[in-house]
């Protein structure tokens, strides 16, 4: 085979000019008949690694995939590219089943997606044996590991593949990063000296930012106003919070739906599907949302409550920007969340679980407190060294986070606590510090205390933040058995008050100012959003109509990134159109002209006619 053949197929079929990191070596290994084990982050482009060789090989590539919704989207996507793909799972009707099996037997199928349950039925394996199998692709391979977080017993059936199909290569893919699970997957699948790839977990197009969580509703409204029309996910810690936030945002006129495990399956499926199809702009969800979301144009992921661990945070933020376009990850952080979560953790019976959970939460807090580039911190968590000194795409590197000495303020706050008898909640302490004139203060005569008003030079949120931080640092503890959280000065707090211990805190930006910093290396595409926004919107609208007609998610037709590039480059001929990343031959044939016409129209109408100058005629 011609060395450059995969490259040609990449251009013609997928419409991409170059491979993403590791795609080419993976594809070549599969083509050479090797087993492959690949760990790549979400958005790394795993599907292409097996779709492309599936087209080149004779015979069918059997893809085992754990989720029905994912399978359906993958089949739709592949078919849009002109790949002969089908799925067999528990929802496949008899007619489709027969048709698919026939296509396979006649050699008319490139890709067959099956659920592990389907694979595990004896009749099915017998049937497979009668066909020419090019290779097996195991998607979400960590589902085979009991050590992973998404163990699926049916995946264990895949252990038989090497016995039943000894000459057929297996390519296993996962985005789960830990070394233990990786080793276990290879062992469970019994891979034969696999070619192993571990891609970088860096997602350069994601920006990471942590802001101080103060007035959540106001902050969310302010953020969403700054990203009109963009798709995004807001994660909240509990179902109730999900419901509340969704209601609040709906009242403010945003296109929002809630999603959590308390909703019926049908409701959830509907929400997920509508979000995929761009019919819902924003989802407010618990962490139940996300598995099986293939949507490529999620432009922001907000964590409105502190995630429980870094792994979860990474996976959830990873749902943003699969198409490679700039996307934002925002964490709203406050020590009040830490204290709340700690109080839950303390209630765990099993000391081992308690310790692990607390250690994981502490890692997360350390991440929020940023003593280094956020990207570097995340990657280090997964055992990867980020080499650049400044990533240019996080708040730490953009110099938005400052550490300040807060010893004097800490003394003021602790003194307010002490002088009011360690008996009042944070709200009241803050009122005392800023010198508020509340009825409670008058009644308790707290306006006569020496600490009354000593903090009037700083806003209330600052003091709330500081007091919570002091509790987290152990300078105060929440008294047990109170109806509401009441902090009490500890020995360490006394040391601070006596000037024996310095206190440093982080000054997070709050969101209200909405810095919307322009990152230096931010894709030119973002500019094009602004400049050619109208055209982009027209293309999007057209895509939405086509998607509705064809019952597929819009990104299956073209991704946002592709549309942005069209709006930016404004191709005027089919040849130009084919140069756009994401426009392959088949998509050009099916959709190219529709979009091309729109662009040509747009360009001709908006280009100014040279003014007619009668003098020039003479």
Interface with ligand ADP (CB under 6 A): 16, 19-20, 23, 40, 42-48, 294, 296, 322-323, 559, 581
Is the distance from CB of 562 to CB of 582 less than 8 angstroms?
yes
Minimum gap (Å) between residue 577 Cβ and ligand ADP: 16
Minimum gap (Å) between residue 10 Cβ and ligand ADP: 6
Minimum gap (Å) between residue 43 Cβ and ligand ADP: 5
Q: Which is nearer to Zn ion, 96 or 520 (CB)?
A: 520
Q: Which is nearer to Zn ion, 388 or 541 (CB)?
A: 388
Q: Which does 415 bind (CB under 5 to 8 A by kind): ligand ADP, Zn ion, none?
A: none
Q: Which does 19 bind (CB under 5 to 8 A by kind): Zn ion, ligand ADP, none?
A: ligand ADP
Longest dimension (CA), the chain: 96
Structure tokens at 192: 């034969």
Q: Which is nearer to ligand ADP, 44 or 237 (CB)?
A: 44
Reduce the DSSP state of residue 395 to 3 states and report it: coil
Q: Which does 373 bind (CB under 5 to 8 A by kind): Zn ion, ligand ADP, none?
A: Zn ion
Minimum gap (Å) between residue 16 Cβ and ligand ADP: 4
Q: Which does 581 bind (CB under 5 to 8 A by kind): Zn ion, ligand ADP, none?
A: ligand ADP
Q: Which is nearer to Zn ion, 342 or 376 (CB)?
A: 376
Structure tokens at 70: 């994912």
CA neighbor of 160 nearest in space, from 207, 128, 130: 128
Q: Which does 46 bind (CB under 5 to 8 A by kind): ligand ADP, Zn ion, none?
A: ligand ADP
Question: Other C-beta atoms within 10 Å of 163: how many?
Answer: 8
Residue 376 to residues 7, 215, 502, Cα–Cα distance (Å):
32, 29, 28
Q: Which does 169 bind (CB under 5 to 8 A by kind): ligand ADP, Zn ion, none?
A: none
Residues that bind Zn ion (CB under 5 A): 373, 375, 391, 394, 397
Quick one: CA torsion of 246, 249, 255, 257, rounded to 10 degrees?
A: 0
Minimum gap (Å) between residue 595 Cβ and Zn ion: 36
Q: Which is nearer to ligand ADP, 35 or 560 (CB)?
A: 560
Distance from the first to the final alpha carbon of the chain: 67
CA neighbor of 455 nearest in space, from 405, 415, 421: 415
Residue 581 to residues 37, 294, 565, 586, Cα–Cα distance (Å):
27, 19, 8, 13
Quick one: CA torsion of 304, 374, 297, 248, rounded to 10 degrees?
A: 10
Minimum gap (Å) between residue 217 Cβ and ligand ADP: 33
Residue 395 to residues 215, 234, 375, Cα–Cα distance (Å):
20, 19, 10
Q: Which is nearer to ligand ADP, 45 or 493 (CB)?
A: 45
Which residues fall within 8 angstroms of residue 188, CB to CB, at 6 or more apart? 144, 145, 155, 156, 158, 159
Q: Which is nearer to ligand ADP, 335 or 558 (CB)?
A: 558
Q: CA 225, CA 221: separation in Å to the nearest integer?
A: 6
Structure tokens at 283: 């989802």
Q: Which does 391 bind (CB under 5 to 8 A by kind): Zn ion, ligand ADP, none?
A: Zn ion
Minimum gap (Å) between residue 252 Cβ and Zn ion: 32
Q: Which does 43 bind (CB under 5 to 8 A by kind): Zn ion, ligand ADP, none?
A: ligand ADP
Minimum gap (Å) between residue 549 Cβ and ligand ADP: 21
């Amino acid at each position: 085979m011609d060395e450059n053949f995969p490259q040609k197929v990449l251009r013609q079929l997928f419409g991409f000019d170059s491979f993403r990191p590791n795609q080419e070596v993976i594809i070549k290994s599969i083509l050479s008949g090797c087993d492959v084990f690949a760990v790549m982050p979400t958005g790394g482009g795993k599907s292409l690694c097996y779709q492309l060789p599936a087209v080149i090989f004779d015979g069918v590539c059997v893809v085992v995939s754990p989720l029905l919704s994912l399978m359906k989207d993958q089949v739709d996507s592949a078919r849009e590219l002109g790949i002969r793909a089908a799925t067999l799972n528990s929802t496949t009707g008899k007619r489709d089943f027969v048709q698919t099996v026939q296509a396979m037997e006649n050699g008319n199928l490139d890709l067959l997606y099956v659920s592990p349950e389907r694979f595990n039925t004896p009749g099915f394996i017998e049937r497979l044996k009668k066909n020419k199998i090019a290779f097996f692709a195991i998607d979400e391979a960590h589902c085979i590991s009991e050590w992973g977080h998404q163990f699926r017993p049916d995946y264990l059936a895949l252990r038989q593949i090497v016995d039943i199909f000894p000459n057929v290569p297996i390519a296993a893919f996962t985005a789960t990063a830990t070394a233990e699970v990786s080793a276990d997957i290879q062992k469970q699948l019994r891979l034969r000296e696999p070619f192993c790839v571990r891609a970088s977990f860096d997602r350069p197009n994601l920006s990471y930012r942590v802001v101080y969580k103060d007035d959540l509703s106001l902050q969310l409204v302010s953020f969403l106003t700054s990203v009109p029309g963009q798709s995004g996910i807001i994660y909240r810690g509990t179902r109730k919070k999900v419901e509340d936030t969704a209601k609040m945002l709906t009242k403010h006129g945003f296109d929002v739906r809630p999603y959590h495990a308390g909703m019926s399956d049908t409701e959830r499926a509907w929400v997920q599907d509508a979000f995929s199809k761009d019919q819902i702009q924003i989802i407010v969800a618990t962490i139940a949302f996300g598995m099986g979301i293939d949507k490529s144009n999620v432009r922001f992921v907000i964590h409105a409550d502190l995630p429980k661990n870094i792994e979860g945070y990474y996976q959830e933020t990873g749902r943003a920007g699969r198409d490679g376009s700039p996307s934002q990850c925002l964490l709203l952080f406050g020590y009040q969340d830490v204290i709340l979560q700690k109080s839950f953790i303390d209630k765990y019976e099993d000391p081992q679980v308690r310790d692990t959970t607390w250690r994981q939460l502490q890692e997360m807090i350390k991440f929020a407190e940023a003593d280094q580039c956020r990207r570097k911190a995340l990657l280090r968590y997964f055992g990867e060294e980020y080499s650049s000194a400044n990533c240019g795409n996080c708040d730490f590197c953009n110099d938005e986070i400052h550490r300040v000495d807060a010893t004097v303020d800490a003394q003021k706050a602790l003194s307010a606590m002490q002088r009011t008898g360690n008996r009042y909640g944070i709200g009241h302490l803050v009122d005392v510090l800023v010198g508020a004139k509340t009825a409670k203060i008058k009644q308790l005569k707290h306006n006569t205390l020496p600490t009354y008003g000593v903090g009037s030079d700083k806003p209330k949120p600052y003091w709330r933040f500081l007091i919570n931080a002091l509790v987290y640092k152990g300078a105060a503890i929440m008294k047990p058995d109170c109806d509401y959280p009441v902090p009490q000065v500890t020995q360490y707090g006394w040391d601070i008050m006596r000037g024996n211990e310095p206190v440093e805190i982080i000054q997070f930006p709050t969101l209200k100012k909405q810095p919307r910093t322009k990152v230096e290396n931010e894709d030119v595409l973002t500019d094009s959003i602004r400049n050619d926004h109208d055209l982009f919107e027209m293309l999007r609208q057209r895509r939405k109509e086509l998607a509705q007609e064809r019952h597929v998610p819009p990104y299956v037709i073209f991704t946002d990134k592709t549309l942005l590039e069209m709006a930016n480059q404004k191709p005027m001929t089919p040849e130009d159109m084919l140069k756009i990343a994401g426009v392959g031959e088949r998509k050009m044939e099916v959709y190219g002209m529709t979009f091309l016409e729109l662009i040509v129209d747009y360009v001709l109408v908006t280009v100014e006619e040279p003014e007619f100058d009668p003098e020039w005629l003479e």
